[in-house]
Structure 1
Amino acid sequence: MTSGGAGAGRCRRIGRYVAGSHPPVPSLVLAVAWAYGVTGLFAALDPLVTRWRPGAGTAVAAVTVFADLLLMRALDDVRDLDYDRRFNPGRPLASGAVRVGDLGVLYALGAPAVLALNAARPWQAAILGVQLAYGVILVAVHCRWGWPPGERLLVNLLVSLPAPVLLHAYLYAGYLHAAGHRAGWPGCAAVVVAVLAAGHAELAKNITREPRPGERTYAAALGLRGSAVLALAAPALSAALLAAWSRAPLAWTPAAVLPLAVPAAAGHRFLRGRARRPAAAPPLHLLLTFAGYAALGLAR
């Protein structure tokens, strides 16, 4: 096969991967909500803000979040390949629709492109560079030494935590650049609020009442009820902190707490006997949460 034919084949495989693991339309909707919502969250907690409106930098951040989530998804799929071949064989990498080398090319091309997109703002590019490098190191350590073991979900959760923290730090750096403010505790508080809210999706997806032999589940470490309670506690604590720290008018407080109805309803159905939590509930909760953040920011 000619090099041109090989390249075309690789592009097709990568295209199938994106369609199967990071569908462009819903993923872009989530990325836009994430960038605009979390930027609004910083404004909602910032005591120096009198009026916030998103600008061109927020649009760049949305494209960056979309690409960043794709690259992080690729790294996660490489790390979880053996597990997915057993429990999620329909995923593009596990099914053979795309190869590990293809994802390596995707990352090698995508990471510099994302950094170049943010080159005009060195602090943001630097934070992204640290996050992208950390993800590669994490996968390399796992592939070389098998650490942390995949079944140690709580350890994996803690080890993976810097990636979302750095993504929110990137958004905070963009907010500070646009607002002309210096970093302060409200920004750190906002990152805590956002990470707790986003953590619900990770916790909820690995809870099942009837795990298959070898299937990873938080119930193995926390028990069924304990893992279900933790999955609801994270967004509940996030909403409580947001309601307490928000500087938006008091009438807008429901924007902080109403998204909790989704994980609460899903958790109730699960504890009443459902085998697994509804797959659509975590992304719906995230979208509503980010919309609430944006509303609180715009209300300043």
Structure 2
Amino acid sequence: MTGRLRRIGRFVSGSFPPVPSLLLASAWAYGVTGLFAALDPHGTRWRPGAGTAVEAVTVFADLLLMRALDDVRDLGYDRRFHPGRPLASRAVRAGDLGVLYAAGSVAVLALNAARPWQAALLAAQLAYGAAVLAVHCRWRWPPGDRLLVNLLVSLPAPVLLHAYLYAGYLHAAGHAVGSFGLLAIVVAVLAAGHAEVAKTITRAPRPGERTYAASLGLTGAVALALAAPALSAALLAALSQAPPAWTAAAVLPSAVPAVAGYRFLRGRTRWPPAAPALHLLLTFTGYAALGLAR
């Protein structure tokens, strides 16, 4: 047991560094909850509380569990292109990550047991993630190099995670379900989707390297990487119920992909590697500020 815990610790430090991951998870939970408040036409003064803190811990744990699934699914690819990752380097075993996923799932569901709707959405997301991995291990579908298919197959997981946060917002606000919640999820998913596409963009992929440019062409991949955050910001600006000055400030992080795209189009070989994470962190922080300003 001690050896397994040690190996899991190596996985966490190598694939999911706790400090930046906790920062992102907190921004995600507080920011997307603030986004629901900012877009709620019947919303009142929103302030995060103990429930939001529980959701931040849950998002942190959930992202760790999703990372474990992704590392198992991408093991063959990582052995070739990212051999230093804990699973690829054999610093941790696939069985260890299975134990982590099972124990972590039980823990986060127990943490949310007091709110049945949130626990149910979380359970659905965790079950879906496990099912996708099981299908991949049994039938090798979808193939790893079919990134667009993988993107569509993986999409329900973040949607369900955002729905979990929406259920928490509704519980705290005492409101019924409304169409603004779906629109807020679209805004957040588009913003997060930028990172998924942008991180693979390169002019000179190595043989076998996965990139959306293989399906869309380089121009198409760059266009998608720029269109997703732009559309997200446009929807936010159109739907926000917060004061206009705060809304304008909240869409400013969309300048990060624009600047990164400009630098890439000016001749960089790869998309600036820090830009997608910076955009996501600033965007979620902007959502939180927008909700507080409401």
The reply to whether TM is greater than 0.5 is yes
Match of 2:107 in 1: 113
Whether 1:171 and 2:171 are equivalent positions in the alignment is no
Letter in 1 for 2:114: A
Aligned-pair distance for 1:273? 1.3
Match of 1:37 in 2: 31
Match of 1:13 in 2: 7
Match of 2:53 among 41, 56, 59: 59
Matched ranges for 1:113-192 at <5 A: 113-192=107-186
Letter in 2 for 1:175: Y
Whether 1:68 and 2:76 are equivalent positions in the alignment is no
Match of 1:4 in 2: none
- Output the CA distance in 2 between the equivalents of 1:260 and 1:90: 32
Whether the 8 Å CA contact 1:42–1:172 is kept in 2: the answer is yes
Whether the 8 Å CA contact 1:208–1:276 is kept in 2: the answer is yes
Letter in 2 for 1:90: G
Whether the 8 Å CA contact 1:142–1:148 is kept in 2: the answer is yes
- CA deviation string 1:153-188 (max 9, x = no partner): 000000000000000000000000000001110001
Whether 1:199 and 2:202 are equivalent positions in the alignment is no
Aligned residues: 294
Letter in 2 for 1:37: G
- Output the CA distance in 1 between the equivalents of 2:249 and 2:291: 11
Whether 1:228 and 2:222 are equivalent positions in the alignment is yes
Letter in 1 for 2:126: L
Aligned-pair distance for 1:202? 0.5
Match of 2:16 in 1: 22
Whether the 8 Å CA contact 2:250–2:289 is kept in 1: the answer is no
- Output the CA distance in 1 between the equivalents of 2:79 and 2:245: 50
Whether the 8 Å CA contact 2:33–2:165 is kept in 1: the answer is yes
- Output the CA distance in 2 between the equivalents of 1:265 and 1:92: 33
- Output the CA distance in 2 between the equivalents of 1:90 and 1:228: 28
Match of 1:256 in 2: 250
Letter in 2 for 1:50: T
Runs of 4+ aligned residues of structure 1 deviating over 3 Å after TM superposition are none
Aligned-pair distance for 1:225? 1.4
Match of 2:206 among 185, 208, 212: 212
Give unmatched runs, 5+ long, in structure 2: none
TM-score by length of 1: 0.97
Aligned-pair distance for 1:144? 0.5
Aligned-pair distance for 1:50? 2.3
Whether 1:295 and 2:286 are equivalent positions in the alignment is no
- Output the CA distance in 2 between the equivalents of 1:192 and 1:238: 8
Give unmatched runs, 5+ long, in structure 1: 1-6
Whether the 8 Å CA contact 1:225–1:271 is kept in 2: the answer is no
Whether the 8 Å CA contact 1:255–1:293 is kept in 2: the answer is no
Aligned-pair distance for 1:255? 2.4
- CA deviation string 1:202-253 (max 9, x = no partner): 0111111110111111111111111011011101100000000000011112
Letter in 1 for 2:274: A
- Output the CA distance in 2 between the equivalents of 1:246 and 1:282: 23
TM-score by length of 2: 0.99
- Output the CA distance in 1 between the equivalents of 2:115 and 2:181: 18
Match of 1:284 among 269, 278, 283: 278
Q: Secondary structure at the match of 1:94?
A: coil
Match of 2:233 in 1: 239
- Output the CA distance in 1 between the equivalents of 2:238 and 2:194: 20
Q: Secondary structure at the match of 1:92?
A: coil
Aligned-pair distance for 1:108? 1.1
Letter in 1 for 2:176: R
Superposition RMSD in Å: 0.7
